[in-house]
Amino acid sequence: GVIFSVEKDVQNQNKTTIKINSKTGYPIASKVDEPTHESIRKEMDRGRLLFYVTFKGGTAYLDLDNLRTILGIEEAEF
């Protein structure tokens, strides 16, 4: 079956997104250290408010063998 697809869709503002089918059962990270996050409010011209979240830090400990398998990349190419 399909393990991953590369798509551009409205939900992601037409940005290119790699979507990995989580039902295939390949773990791609053995551990994840979550980043810290902070919400920001920025005042734009004419008083318009912009709210967003920033992230700092965070680490994913990747299983490179499984990641290569999912993406179909040979070890020599990686």
For residues 74 and 58, state if they share a domain: no
Question: Do residues 55 and 69 share a domain?
Answer: no
Q: Please, are residues 13 and 1 in contact by the beta-carbon 8 Å criterion?
A: no
Give the number of domains in the chain.
2
| Residues 33 and 57 grouped into a single domain | yes
**Residue 78 has what pLDDT?**
74
CA-CA-CA-CA dihedral for 77, 22, 25, 36, to nearest 10: 80
* 51 lies in the same domain as 76: no
User: Do 50 and 70 fall into the same domain?
Assistant: no
Average pLDDT over residues 37-44: 95
User: pTM here?
Assistant: 0.51
Distance between CA atoms of residues 27 and 69, nearest Å:
11
Same domain, 53 and 36: yes
Three-state SS for 51? strand
* pLDDT of amino acid 1: 65
Strand partners of residue 52: 40
Q: Are residues 58 and 69 in the same domain?
A: no
Write the single-letter amino acid at 17.
T
Residue 70: domain span:
1-25+64-78
